[in-house]
Structure 1
Amino acid sequence: MAATVETFRQGRSIPQNLYGRGVPDQTVSIVTDALDKWFALLDGGRYDDAYASPPVIRAIPLTLASREILCEDNAVVRLTFASTDGADLPAWTPGMHLDFTLPSGRRRQYSLCGDPAERNTYTVAVRYIPDGGGGSTEMHSLEEGAAVTVRGPRNGFPFVPRGNAVFVAGGIGITAILPMVRAANAAGMDWHLVYCGRSRESLPFLDEIEALPPGRVTIRTDDAAGIATGPELLERAGTGAVYCCGPPPMIDAVRRAFDSVPATHLYFERFSPPPVRGGVEFEVQLVDTGEIITVPSDTTALQAIREIKPDVAYSCQQGFCGTCRTRVLSGTPDHRESRLTPEEQESEMLICVSRAEGGRIVLDL
């Protein structure tokens, strides 16, 4: 999971190029998280910061207390972690996530999906992705008693519990959405959940979701009804907010349809990187080996480098966590992120999204 959020009012132009320069794309920094001004923008200056817990930067050691397979295809596991010393853990609110450092050293982000009132545990759910870079494989292999370290909770996808809301979740995107649904229901909001997936066998939390109040939930699977269009996903959208979490095609469909509905706010979180847009082919030379790697116009530098160095560090793949920051020894980067300061951009780049302005760039990997 990677926590990126964009917020729009109806009638405001939606950026067409998430990776492009000069695009009014509001990506939340992994360091600053919940800045007061940003939260004010989310609700037109009416956001109450009582809804957001302060970000926690320190590392927290956790122990895996329990694990449970959640869906019939066995691809999603729910993992509940407890503090190693039994003390209460930092509070969290719907939409928050944790940055995990796994035993291998990999860093990955996963949304909290348990009960915020349970202060002694954190719960996440992870879908196994065979070619996903090893993070989900490692999470699925954890046994009870395993030790991990987390940073957070951090909020890149805040929920405002007022008015009415439509929640759109695709597959494992339900992990970020479900705590919001619970909070909306508890607050007596007018809400509706649209939950999509390949098949019922692939949908986690299905028992809990089907037990929600009648008429509040639409479950749609590709094998029974086909892939939903944007207008179908937003059919129940009223004058309030839309919260969407899922794969890029779903998010793109919702974004395209948003201006045709009366909703005033759109918040979404991506669980995988969007496609590269407006890229040009360039070369990367690795200073340690001298190898020269061609990066096609539709491929990220990270993806191309991983073909040669599969152990290269990365996490969010969206240009905000900073895990893949790399020193630039020669060449001109085309910075397509919001993480580095202008001074840092003079000598570093984030290879998951940033590129080169043609020609060759030499990296200290």
Structure 2
Amino acid sequence: MSSQPTLRMYVESRQGAAEGVVHLVLVPTEPGTNLPSWKAGAHIDLRSDDGITRQYSLCGRPSDDHFEVAVLNVPDGRGGSRWVHESLLEGAEVDVAGPRNHFELADAPAYLFIAGGIGITPILPMIREVASRDVDWRLVYGGRTRHSMAFAEQLVEEFGEHVDLVPAEERGLIDLAGVLDEQQPGRRVYCCGPEPLLDAVEKVMVDRDSETLHVERFSPRDDVDTSGDAFDVEIAASGATVHVEEGQSIIDALADAGITVDFSCREGTCGTCETGVLGGIPDHRDDVLDDAEKAQNDVMMICVGRCVVGPLLLDL
């Protein structure tokens, strides 16, 4: 299986969006190229010539003729943000794959958006969309300092009282109990940010049947668990059978058999390796699919997923 097609793009403009955050505008290197369509919540893959692949949320407008991303520099990360900050200068070229979306904005009579730090990026296009509708909405946006919060002043200027900025150095952490105190039947709550924030929101929302929570993670909830018995997967296109050893990932087993698939994080968070399941029942261990999507058992993340009932027939 060949890798997902990429589009060659270059950095048309680059500017600081906040302390430690760079905002890039990417346009196709080939004039007249139409960009793939996307909806609020989508992200793209940026792929370096050295093999680094990282996912960044689109923070522009779907109607634009360019892509926009904002990237936080994480000094102790895996090297992706450092590459963006040091190498993707104005005029630099980069391969872009996607967009793909596991954080789509669903219809609702009311919305609450909770963002922490760089987690504002996928939420920004959502806010622009709901602001054009006749619905109730609110954004609560936290960060270390006011200067570290990307697009903060822009959001206040554009949306006024709908936006509540919570810089920790001025106001402490977001008061989630207060923010989520009064339930609104039918409301959808969208949250993106660091794991402690997501975990705290999930705990408050756990018994709320009248509201729906949507979260997007940048890192796995727990240590990645690939333990479990061996099993077989079948490749739909060729009919070949691949044996997955105990503790081995499906991706690695496929690679050993000469079958190449797209992947990036290996942690079940980015969605790059999402693969259709045509038979068998997968053991979902990712943080991409929600409970309803997992129950359908028609796709899985093969970087961490295993098998409940096999063999798994994969749409490859």
- The answer to whether the 8 Å contact 1:94/1:179 transfers is yes
- Residue 126 and residue 277 in structure 1: after superposition, are their counterparts in 2 closer, same or farther (change >3 A)? closer
Deviation at residue 263 of structure 1 after TM alignment: 4.6
How many residues end up aligned between the 2 structures? 246
Q: TM-score if structure 2 supplies the norm length?
A: 0.70
Deviations 1:117-159 (A, max 9, x none): 11x2100000000011110011112111111111111111000
1:201 is paired with a residue whose SS is helix
Write out aligned runs for 1:111-260 (5 A).
111-118=57-64, 120-141=65-86, 142-235=88-181, 238-239=184-185, 240-259=187-206
**What amino acid sits opposite 1:77 in the alignment?**
V
When structure 1 is superposed on structure 2, of 205-214 and 93-102 the one drifting more is 205-214
**Stretches of structure 2 lacking an aligned partner (at least 5 in a row):** 228-262, 275-282, 290-296, 307-316
- The answer to whether the 8 Å contact 1:157/1:267 transfers is yes
**How far, CA to CA, are the matches of 1:322 and 1:336 in structure 2?**
13
**Stretches of structure 1 lacking an aligned partner (at least 5 in a row):** 1-56, 281-312, 324-333, 356-365
Which residue number corresponds to residue 221 of structure 2? 274
Deviation at residue 218 of structure 1 after TM alignment: 1.2
Deviations 1:35-63 (A, max 9, x none): xxxxxxxxxxxxxxxxxxxxxx5211111
- Residue 279 and residue 155 in structure 1: after superposition, are their counterparts in 2 closer, same or farther (change >3 A)? closer
Deviation at residue 314 of structure 1 after TM alignment: 4.5
1:212 is paired with a residue whose SS is helix
**How far, CA to CA, are the matches of 1:154 and 1:237 in structure 2?**
31
1:77 is paired with a residue whose SS is strand
Which residue number corresponds to residue 299 of structure 1? none
- The answer to whether the 8 Å contact 1:106/1:135 transfers is yes
Deviation at residue 187 of structure 1 after TM alignment: 1.6
1:219 is paired with a residue whose SS is strand
Kindly, what percent of the aligned residue pairs are identical?
A: 36
Which residue number corresponds to residue 19 of structure 1? none
**How far, CA to CA, are the matches of 1:230 and 1:183 in structure 2?**
24
**What amino acid sits opposite 2:13 in the alignment?**
S
- The answer to whether the 8 Å contact 1:161/1:183 transfers is no
**What amino acid sits opposite 1:232 in the alignment?**
G
Write out aligned runs for 1:50-61 (5 A).
57-61=4-8
CA RMSD in angstroms comes to 3.0
Runs (4+) of structure 1 exceeding 6 A deviation are 277-280
**How far, CA to CA, are the matches of 1:90 and 1:279 in structure 2?**
34
When structure 1 is superposed on structure 2, of 193-202 and 257-266 the one drifting more is 257-266
Higher relative contact order (CA 8 A, sep 6+): 1
1:252 is paired with a residue whose SS is helix
2:134 is paired with a residue whose SS is coil
**How far, CA to CA, are the matches of 2:159 and 2:284 in structure 1?**
47
Deviations 1:217-256 (A, max 9, x none): 1111222222224323424652211011111111111111
- Residue 65 and residue 237 in structure 1: after superposition, are their counterparts in 2 closer, same or farther (change >3 A)? farther
- Residue 237 and residue 80 in structure 1: after superposition, are their counterparts in 2 closer, same or farther (change >3 A)? farther
When structure 1 is superposed on structure 2, of 250-259 and 122-131 the one drifting more is 250-259
**How far, CA to CA, are the matches of 1:78 and 1:237 in structure 2?**
35
Deviation at residue 261 of structure 1 after TM alignment: 5.4
Which residue number corresponds to residue 12 of structure 2? 65
Which residue number corresponds to residue 30 of structure 2? 85
- The answer to whether the 8 Å contact 1:230/1:250 transfers is no
